[in-house]
């Protein structure tokens, strides 16, 4: 792969777009000679949720879903594995769609099933180093991906909340998978 850093890895994995300065973020995205204190773990949260049913799904659409939701996490982990300390953590963001029959998002569910299988095998491979590898399925989160059917629809929001263990729907600001740099918020409910 050409280039360095996370943006280059994502671009090489997906084949979609070229990395920009904004994609690269801080200089910490570039590989360093020695691991820093922050390199004790990795969270692969990049993903796209748009999908279609079997009949309307295009070859380009499924390629894009697998590039972002499966290939990118695979190569992000591969790229950072040498820098990950023994005893570290890898957390992949999965979905309940990997375990539920939801034909309207068949490809998305398939990508998350593949990610769960990757997680299981990676856990077995990295266990001897004391590295734990887990998939987290955060439930229905109020993101732009779900905006079309969820936002402004009280019935859909109530249904989503009823499916959650805590009886509430998350947003990127209240989700346990939010970035540590996100401003603190009070969870709803």
Spatial distance between the Cα atoms of 135 and 92, rounded to a whole number of angstroms? 5
- CA angle, residues 60, 69, 34, in degrees to nearest 5: 130
- Among 67, 80, 88, 108, the active-site one is 108
Strand order in 132-136's β-sheet? Answer: 41-44, 89-93, 132-136
Residue 108 appears among annotated catalytic residues: yes
Instruction: Show which residues are catalytic.
Output: 108
């Amino acid at each position: 792969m050409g280039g360095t850093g996370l943006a280059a890895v994502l671009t090489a994995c997906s084949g979609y777009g070229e990395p920009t300065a904004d994609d690269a973020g801080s200089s910490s995205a570039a590989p360093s000679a020695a691991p820093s204190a922050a390199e004790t773990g990795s969270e692969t949260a990049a993903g796209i949720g748009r999908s279609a049913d079997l009949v309307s799904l295009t070859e380009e659409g499924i390629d894009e879903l697998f590039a972002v939701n499966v290939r990118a996490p695979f190569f992000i982990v591969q790229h950072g594995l040498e820098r990950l300390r023994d005893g570290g953590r890898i957390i992949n963001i999965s979905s309940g769609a990997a375990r539920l029959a939801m034909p309207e998002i068949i490809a998305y569910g398939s990508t998350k099933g593949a990610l769960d299988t990757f997680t299981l095998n990676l856990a077995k491979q990295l266990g001897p180093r004391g590295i734990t590898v887990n998939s987290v399925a955060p439930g229905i989160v109020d993101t732009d991906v779900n905006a079309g059917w969820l936002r402004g629809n009280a019935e859909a929001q109530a249904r989503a909340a009823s499916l959650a263990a805590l009886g509430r729907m998350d947003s990127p600001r209240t989700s346990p998978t939010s970035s540590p740099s996100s401003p603190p918020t009070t969870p709803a409910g």
